[in-house]
């Protein structure tokens, strides 16, 4: 645990970006938000097989990535599969097949650090086998589950069929066939050689968007059928992938609108798709009236942080007390460090807390914007690591505390 914490702090000191794991250890300011999302979406709506989309909005450094990582940690605790996709310049959001491949590459089950469609299928099969201590009963459970797959109304019938075959290939220890099936399930549906081997027709250019969207929804249905609560997919760094010309931006808006409609209509998919966006991208949606109306708050003072959990936009700039938020961030990081390294720290915990309080006030006075969260994280992590590493700091701290006496 100590090595994990040090690695996490070192990464945040360098870049101020949230780690993939551990955000719940020092997340502040959004306890109520996560509690409501957990109750309404990860539990209540997922129980009914319902799906939804959310848009987390904030400028650079406002904590969007931290919010997504923390939400995914909570989702995994609720027995959900998760996937984080970086919508950078290499990922063309207007190509559903490209996006689908990224989801398949990044998907992971709860209680697992392995990513990818192959690891997911293996984990599901092994999880079902572990439900019984009796091998005979375990085999019966597996056969019943595989048989039940035939009854699932997959949005893409061929995808459901290949999922069943992949599970069977894994159980039969036919690794070559399992790997080839996972290639196709992971998005290689236009690979002619692979499709010929699997006796499937390759997807044509005209079919790619529709087939890949149906395959994606079938993947979510599969996760639900395997006994998991649902799936949370988070799209980060969209400001890079969405930095396109006007014509392509119109296509992106059109696809976002189509996705909202499709997600709402998805039967027994239980997926929450969350997009992290900067305010300028949201403002561009004003030109696409149908989309803007779908994501807008229903009325003034009816936004997410006003208590309306169903509001599509989660605007991180609408925080009531920035100074208090920064102080809490600093306090949580100090507490985390001292819980595991108090004996190694040359400065008393109270002294470190006083320093971060002063630091928070200085940062707010210099820059009263949402990006101060990243600045605070970088400065606090740097301070703590220097205390931990620097012998000169230890000597200086000892002299300081003796002078105080």
Summarised one tens digit per residue, pLDDT across range 207-265 is 999 999 999 999 999 999 999 999 999 999 887 878 788 888 888 888 888 888 888 88
Say what percent of the chain tops pLDDT 70. 92
Q: pLDDT by residue (tens digit) across 324-378?
A: 888 988 998 999 899 999 888 998 999 999 999 999 999 888 875 656 788 888 8
pLDDT in tens, 82-131: 999 998 888 888 899 999 999 999 999 998 999 999 999 999 999 988 88
Residue scoring higher pLDDT (203 or 288): 203
Residues in a beta bridge with 276: 56
Taken as a whole, the chain contains a residue count of: 405
> What is the pTM (predicted TM-score) of this model?
0.85
φ, ψ (nearest 5 deg) of residue 393: -65, -40
Most confident of 11-15, 159-163, 248-252: 159-163
């Amino acid at each position: 645990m100590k090595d994990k914490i040090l690695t996490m702090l070192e990464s945040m000191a360098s870049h101020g970006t949230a780690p993939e794991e551990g955000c719940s250890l020092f997340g502040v300011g959004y306890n109520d938000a996560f509690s409501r999302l957990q109750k309404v979406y990860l539990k209540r709506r997922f129980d009914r097989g319902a799906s939804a989309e959310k848009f987390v909005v904030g400028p650079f450094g406002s904590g969007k990535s931290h919010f997504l990582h923390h939400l995914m940690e909570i989702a995994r605790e609720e027995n959900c599969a998760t996937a984080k996709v970086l919508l950078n310049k290499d990922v063309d959001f207007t190509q559903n097949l490209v996006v689908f491949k990224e989801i398949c590459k990044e998907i992971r089950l709860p209680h697992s650090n392995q990513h990818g469609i192959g690891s997911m299928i293996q984990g599901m099969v092994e999880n079902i086998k572990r439900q019984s201590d009796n091998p005979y009963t375990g085999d019966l459970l597996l056969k019943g589950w595989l048989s039940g797959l035939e009854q699932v109304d997959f949005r893409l019938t061929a995808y459901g069929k290949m999922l069943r075959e992949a599970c069977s290939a894994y159980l039969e220890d036919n690794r070559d066939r399992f790997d080839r099936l996972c290639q196709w399930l992971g998005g290689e549906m236009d690979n002619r050689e692979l499709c010929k081997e699997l006796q499937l027709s390759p997807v044509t250019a005209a079919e790619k968007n529709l087939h890949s969207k149906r395959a994606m929804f079938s993947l979510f249905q599969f996760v639900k059928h395997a006994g998991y609560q649902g799936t949370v997919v988070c799209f980060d760094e969209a400001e890079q992938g969405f930095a396109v010309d006007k014509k392509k931006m119109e296509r992106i808006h059109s696809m976002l609108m189509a996705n909202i409609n499709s997600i709402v209509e998805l039967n027994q998919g239980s997926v929450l798709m969350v997009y992290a966006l900067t305010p300028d991208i949201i403002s561009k949606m004003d030109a696409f009236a149908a989309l803007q109306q779908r994501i807008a708050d229903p009325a003034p003072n009816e936004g997410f942080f006003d208590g309306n959990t169903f509001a599509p936009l989660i605007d991180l700039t609408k925080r009531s007390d920035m100074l208090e938020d920064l102080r809490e961030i600093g306090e949580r990081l100090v507490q985390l460090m001292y819980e595991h390294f108090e004996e190694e720290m040359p400065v008393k915990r109270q002294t470190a807390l006083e320093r971060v309080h002063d630091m928070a006030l200085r940062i707010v006075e210099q820059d009263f914007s949402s990006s101060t969260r990243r600045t605070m994280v970088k400065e606090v992590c740097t301070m703590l690591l220097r205390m931990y590493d620097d012998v000169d700091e230890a000597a200086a701290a000892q002299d300081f505390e003796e002078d105080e006496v």
